[in-house]
Amino acid sequence: MTSVWTSPTGCRTRQDAALIYAASDITGLTSHIEGLPCALLEAGASELPLSGSKIGGIPEVVKDGSNGLLFESGNAMGLAHALDRLARDRNLREFMGEGGHVLGTYTLWIAVWIG
């Protein structure tokens, strides 16, 4: 059983989440319904490029072309294109990872300041 803890972003997450993000190159979230996606906030704070469907709070976290790529919910080809683009372009991954880190750090500061 995986233990759960509250991450620096204020989300309840797996205790080994940092290890999983450290071993990853890209993060994707393919939700059909979503609020504020903690997994993307944590991945962004871990300097990973993000990809996600244009649904719920995902576009609030994934800034298309800045820290990740967005695609229409339910569009498998859009998902494949976003992941393929990120997988093939190391410079793009690094650029978008830095953008995600800035957003994740900003969100962490807001969570600490408010919470």
Dump pLDDT digits (tens) for 33-74: 988 888 888 888 889 999 999 999 999 899 999 999 999 999
Contact 41, 11 (CB under 8 A): yes
Domain count, the chain: 1
Q: Let me know if residue 114 belongs to a domain.
A: no
Q: Is residue 113 part of a domain?
A: no
Give the residue numbers spanning the domain of 62: 4-108
Give the C-alpha distances (Å, rounded to integers) separating 37 from 30, 42, 44, 77.
11, 9, 11, 22
**Running DSSP on this structure, what letter comes out for residue 106?**
H
Q: What is the pTM of this model?
A: 0.78
CATH number at residue 75: 3.40.50.2000
12 touches 4 (CB < 8 A):
yes
Q: Would you say 36 and 60 are in contact if contact means Cβ atoms under 8 Å apart?
A: yes
- pLDDT attached to residue 95: 94
Task: Locate all alpha helices (DSSP H) within 5-75, ordered by sequence.
Answer: 17-22, 38-45, 58-61
Task: Quote the pLDDT of residue 65.
Answer: 94
87 in any annotated domain: yes
Can you say how many angstroms the Cα of residue 95 is from the centroid of all Cα atoms in its chain? 14
Q: Cβ distance 39 to 20 under 8 Å?
A: no
pLDDT digits (tens, 9 = 90+) for 87-111: 999 999 999 998 766 665 555 544 4
Q: Answer yes or no: is 15 within a domain.
A: yes
